[in-house]
């Protein structure tokens, strides 16, 4: 079985992005704990123009069974597994190329939204059983995280691959949270890189185990 795991480069003034660090760690340590799974890892640019081109090229080349995208959501204290991706680009801040689309469709001919097809509830349950705080999220936003999720699901609907696709948001790293602390605002929540690594391994393992089960596209 083949999986594609993507993260994002830093953006918005941050020097680090935990999703990039998780993806790079996976490329270093391999998949010995997930026998039978061939994992391909890529760090995507925080660019609407370039990220879409890179991801579409990877999906065409690899035709993965599983796609899991990872991204940062500063302010959350737990891992979120996204339920839906919507057909809109609406950027609160410019991407790393300086582009800032407002209320633009990702695909003018595509459906308004797609439900992700990872076994979301099973992943969240197993994360919690493993001591990792997690929840299902009903909004992936309208920035790059939602964008790549929509593209992966559009490919799945059109071409049949990846057969299971979705997205997970990660909290800040402790070293990031430390730089954002203030006397009045307090210290924002964070999570260690090791815990994030465990969370992604559990998500991949759960998806592998349940791969042949019922399609979760509908109902979510």
* φ, ψ of residue 46 in degrees (nearest 5): -85, 75
Q: Tokens 């300086």 — which residue?
A: 98
Residue 36 to residue 2: CA distance in whole angstroms? 8
Q: C-alpha distances in angstroms, 171 versus 28, 40, 71?
A: 22, 23, 9
Q: Which of 20, 154, 169, 216 is catalytic?
A: 169
82 noted as active-site residue = yes
Contact 23, 42 (CB under 8 A): yes
Contact 217, 141 (CB under 8 A): no
145 noted as active-site residue = yes
Q: Indicate the SS3 state at residue 44.
A: strand
Q: Which of 82, 104, 175, 183 is catalytic?
A: 82
Residue 87 to residue 76: CA distance in whole angstroms? 24
28 noted as active-site residue = no
Q: Which of 20, 145, 154, 216 is catalytic?
A: 145
Q: Give catalytic residue positions.
A: 82, 145, 169
């Amino acid at each position: 079985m083949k999986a594609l795991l993507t993260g994002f480069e830093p953006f918005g003034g941050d020097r680090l992005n935990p999703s990039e660090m998780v993806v790079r760690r996976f490329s270093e340590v391999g998949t010995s704990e997930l026998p039978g799974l061939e994992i391909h890892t890529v760090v995507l640019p925080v660019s609407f123009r370039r990220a879409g081109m890179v991801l579409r090229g990877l999906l065409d080349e690899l035709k993965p069974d599983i796609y899991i995208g990872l991204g940062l959501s500063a302010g959350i204290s737990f891992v979120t597994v996204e339920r839906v991706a919507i057909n809109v680009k609406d950027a609160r801040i410019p991407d790393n190329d300086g582009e800032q689309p407002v209320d633009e469709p990702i695909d003018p001919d595509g459906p308004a939204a797609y439900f992700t097809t990872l076994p979301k509830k099973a992943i969240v349950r197993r994360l919690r059983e493993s001591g990792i705080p997690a929840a299902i999220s009903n909004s992936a936003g309208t920035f790059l995280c939602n964008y790549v999720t929509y593209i992966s699901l559009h490919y799945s609907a059109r071409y049949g691959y990846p057969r299971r696709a979705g997205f997970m948001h990660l909290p800040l790293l402790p070293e990031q949270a430390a730089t954002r602390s203030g006397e009045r605002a307090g210290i924002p929540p964070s999570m260690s890189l090791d815990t994030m690594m465990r969370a992604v391994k559990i998500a991949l393992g759960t998806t592998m185990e349940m791969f042949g089960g019922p399609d979760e596209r509908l109902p979510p």
